A and B are shown apart, each in its own frame.
Chain A
């Protein structure tokens, strides 16, 4: 069974630009969560999507948004990038049936210059 796939693995963007990251969950998983990982703040929850609906949201500004498609694939978008948005963005998928384990992808390393 394939794991969680995130694309791209690395991105370099300029301040003020916007970026879209993609996540394909484990087959059959309908819940996708996004996390930001930085050395200073650690792992922080961004939002969770379940069946194309945002189920929960963390404390991030509105520049951070996401969506989920009918095949459970998810994208997150960051607009008007700031230097502080440089981070590893991680996606996790969970199955609503029989367990709540969250399985992470390898992440997208975003560098804002």
Chain B
């Protein structure tokens, strides 16, 4: 089955700096890669996603890149703000296969933005 590794497990950045989180996946059949933000006491919130036919996607201060050959994808947050402090999860899925909507998650990255 799919295995997703996520690094780093913790990330501390100064407000205004950029943050980068990297994930690798094992199953070449995976074709959908969402990123989630989870704040304390809440469920994961989808913040951005990318499909395997796209190399990069951007939404305001957040961008995701995908390298299918190397089987890795990354989340980039620019101009970080204190409200970006949370745990971020990457995930992978094969939305065209029998797996349906099964998501395999990385271990999470705790991001702390220091004012």
Contacts and interface: CB of A to CB of B under 8 A. Distances in A.
Interface in B34-53: 34, 36, 41-46, 49
Contact of A43 (B41, B49, B89): B89
A95 to B, nearest CB: 10
B98 A56 contact: yes
A50 B46 contact: no
Interface string B18-38: 000000000000001010100
Nearest to A109: B41
A45 B102 contact: yes
Interface in A71-102: 90, 92, 94, 100-102
A39 to B, nearest CB: 10
Contacts of A55: 100-101
Contacts of A44: 105
Contacts of A101: 34, 46, 49
A105 interface: yes
A48 B98 CA distance: 11
A102 B44 CA distance: 10
* Binding site secondary structure of chain A: strand
Given A42-B107, A101-B34, A33 B43 contact: no
B103 A45 contact: yes
B78 to A, nearest CB: 23
Most buried by A among B42, B49, B101: B101
B109 to A, nearest CB: 12
Contacts of B95: 100
Contacts of A4: 43
Contacts of A102: 34, 46, 101, 103
Contacts of B34: 101-102
A103 interface: yes
Which 8 residue pairs across A and B have the least CB separation, nearest first?
Answer: A104-B43, A43-B105, A55-B100, A100-B95, A94-B101, A106-B43, A104-B44, A56-B100
